[in-house]
Structure formats: C-alpha cells, structure tokens
Amino acid sequence: MDKRLKEIREKIDAIDRGIMGLLNKRMELSGRSRELKDKTADPGRENEVLSNVERLSHPFVDAGFSRRLYREIIDESRRAQERHDIQNSGMPRKKAAMKIVVLGLGHMGSWLARELSQHNEIAVFDTDLSKPERFPDAFILKGLEGIRAFGPQILINAVTLHRTIPVFNEVLRYLPKGCIISDIASIKGPLDEYYAQCGLKFVSVHPMFGPTFADMNALRGESVITIKESHPEGKAFVRSFFERLGVTVFEYSFAEHDRMMAYSLTLPFISSMAFASCVDRSIVPGTTFAKHMTIARGLLSEDDRLLGEVLFNTYSLAELERVTAMMEYLKHIIQGKDYEVLGDFLNKLRKNIA
C-alpha cells in the first residue's frame, strides 16, 4: 500500500474515533438534559441546531448532507431521552401520536398545523419562507428533501387544487414506506384518478368550514367530509381528530362529493357574486342589505384560485342553469304582479329551508 495513502487512512481512523467519542458524549448529555425538560421534542432547539450545522458546513461538507445527518442524530437523541424516561420511571412518557408533515401554510394549512401540533409531531413547509417561522412548535423544513429525514406517517398537502398533484409528484421520492398522503381540496376533480394510479395509501378530506366565516376556536356543529375510497387508517385518524373538536364527519365518494359541492358551494357563491355585481354604494343600506354585503365581502376576500376551483367544478354549470331558470320564473311573477302565484312560490321556498 502507498505510504501516503496509509498515513491518510490512519488520520481518518483517528478522526472517526474522535467523532464517535464526541457522539457518545453528546448522547450522554442529551439523556441528562431530559431531566430538565417537560417533553423530549423541542422543535425550537432542534431547528436552531440544524441551522447551526448548515452554517458550519463549509467549505468541504454540503449543507444539505449536514442537515440530514443531524436530523438523524437528533432523532436518535430523542430516542435516548425516551430510554432515559424508561430507566428512571419504569415507563416512557406519552409519545406524539403521529409524525405529520403539512405542506402549504395558507388559512387551512396553518390551522391544521397548529391544531395537529397539540398531540402530534409536526413538520411544516411553505414556499413563502416567512410562514413556517410562525410555528415554534413545529420542525421547519428548509426544502422538500427534508421530508425524508423527518420520516412522516402522514403528509398533508394543503396547497391549492391546481398545485396539489404537482406537489405530490415532487415529494413522493422522499416519503417513507407506508406514509399516508392527504389533500384538503374543496373540489376533488382529477384526484380520484391520481390516487388510483399512484398506489399509495391516501385520505382525501374537505373541511366544510374556514376562517372567513367560521369561528376556528369553536367548531362544534361544523362539518368535514372524508372520501369513501380513502384508506381505513387515514379515515380513522381524520375521524378521531375532527370528532375531538366537535366536528361532524360525513363520508361520500369522489363523485358524490363534487356533485354536492356544486350545490353547497357553487350555489351560495354565485348568489353572492350576483349580489356584489349589482351593488350601488350610493344607496342607504338596510339590515338585510348589510348582511348580504358582509357575506359578499367575506367570499370575495378568498383566493381567486379557490373561487375558480369551486366555480369550474364539472357540476357547477348545471347548478347555475337551475338558478337562472328560477330567476326567470321569479321575473315572470314580478312582471305579472300576481300575489297568488307569488304566495305559492314563497311557500315553496319556506318548505325548502324549513
């Protein structure tokens, strides 16, 4: 063997012995630190460690490699702390129920991340890097490749519908075996076909509430839909999570869901849009007008993409035609000024909403 090569290898062996000695010391200190903490997971500290090692990586060590390596070390440190619990109390502290990644921190994604972090270990990612900073109790993913090191059991894709499938395609390579993928799209559209082709366990969910009109801190009486074709494990987790919040869980097939959304979302959406298109700001508003104005403003504060997804639902046009036909009939009644026909019409409406 070349003498210079032998010398280099001997130096590497010495460095390896030093690394393992320091790693053993780190694990010992990690176990002792457990006595000074309420729980093993400390996302704020762990994110700090990961940022530090990325900064210290240069010039020869890739920052992404350093982050993945230390993610593994941190996970092993947490396991060491759990072993410390067992040795000192005879039983481990209660571990987080699930490891969950939330992608997309819009209104609903942010709410899910906050709620799920109370009983689970959460990692978050958004292309707007300022958004994850709002979640001190979550692990902040700097890139999608961080999903591999985190090792989620569930991945929730909370981006808009037109990005849902592309984002799934981007992250599939990083998912551990058995991970359940999930969407929260208001309209399911092409997701039925996608899930059938990808071959992964999935749970498709639609929370029928949002921050525009619902009180997100008091959701009792609100509803959520799970898709019938979803994997039983995923449906069981969703049901447990939402029922704990007092939310009623319904189950429909993909096709049933989108047909229903044409009624429950498209109908009120187009009614509010028709009202907004006719608003004359110079008119003194009455109570009913003011209430409609509040609803219209709330609706139009939503993202254009979300509104488009609802309106472009395959079944929306039929709902719009039904509304316009009814408006033509009402126009006919008004033109005829026939109180008897109007009375019959109003009684029918009252039965509809009784």
pLDDT value, residue 211: 60
DSSP letter, residue 181: E
Q: What percent of the chain has pLDDT over 90?
A: 42
Closest CA to 159 of 137, 138, 181, 175: 181
R_g of the chain, CA atoms, integer Å:
27
Rounded Cα–Cα distance for residues 342 and 348 (Å)? 10
| Cβ atoms of 64 and 142 closer than 8 Å | no
Total structural domains within the chain: 3
Q: Same structural domain for residues 247 and 124?
A: yes
pLDDT value, residue 214: 63
Q: What value does the mean pLDDT take over residues 101-105?
A: 97
Q: Same structural domain for residues 51 and 109?
A: no
Final residue belonging to a domain, choices 201, 236, 252: 252
Buried b (16+ CB within 10 A) or exposed e, 75-105: eebbebbbebbeeeeeeeeeebebbbbbbbb
For the full predicted model, state whether its pTM sits above 0.75: no
pLDDT value, residue 89: 47
Q: Same structural domain for residues 53 and 119?
A: no
Q: Same structural domain for residues 161 and 107?
A: yes
End-to-end CA distance of the chain: 91
CA distances from 247 to 181, 222, 250, 264 (A): 22, 5, 10, 17
Grouping H, G, I as helix, E, B as strand and the rest as coil, residue 185 is: coil
Rounded Cα–Cα distance for residues 72 and 78 (Å)? 10
Q: Same structural domain for residues 233 and 153?
A: yes
pLDDT value, residue 206: 95
The answer on pLDDT for 306 being more than 80 is: no
Which residues constitute the domain of residue 329? 260-353
Q: Looking at this protein, which amino acid is placed at residue 15?
A: I
CATH code: domain of residue 51 = 1.20.59.10
pLDDT value, residue 271: 86
At 180-198, the pLDDT tens digits run 999 999 899 899 999 999 9
Q: Where are the beta strands (DSSP E) in the chain?
A: 99-103, 121-125, 139-140, 154-157, 180-183, 202-207, 223-227, 248-252
Rounded Cα–Cα distance for residues 235 and 202 (Å)? 9
Higher-confidence residue of 288 and 87: namely: 288
pLDDT value, residue 91: 41
Q: Same structural domain for residues 240 and 122?
A: yes
pLDDT value, residue 319: 81
pLDDT value, residue 94: 42
Q: Same structural domain for residues 279 and 189?
A: no
At 198-239, the pLDDT tens digits run 999 999 999 988 766 567 777 888 999 999 999 999 999 999
pLDDT value, residue 321: 87
Residue found by looking up tokens 């619902």 in the block: 214
Q: Same structural domain for residues 330 and 185?
A: no
The answer on pLDDT for 109 being more than 90 is: yes
pLDDT value, residue 112: 95
Q: Same structural domain for residues 136 and 224?
A: yes
At 231-269, the pLDDT tens digits run 999 999 999 999 988 999 999 999 999 988 887 888 888
At 27-79, the pLDDT tens digits run 888 877 877 777 777 788 888 888 888 888 878 888 888 888 888 898 888 77
Domain contains 165 = yes
Higher-confidence residue of 324 and 82: namely: 324
Domain contains 94 = no
pLDDT value, residue 67: 86
Mean pLDDT rounded to a whole number for the chain: 86
Q: Where are the beta strands (DSSP E) in 190-348?
A: 202-207, 223-227, 248-252
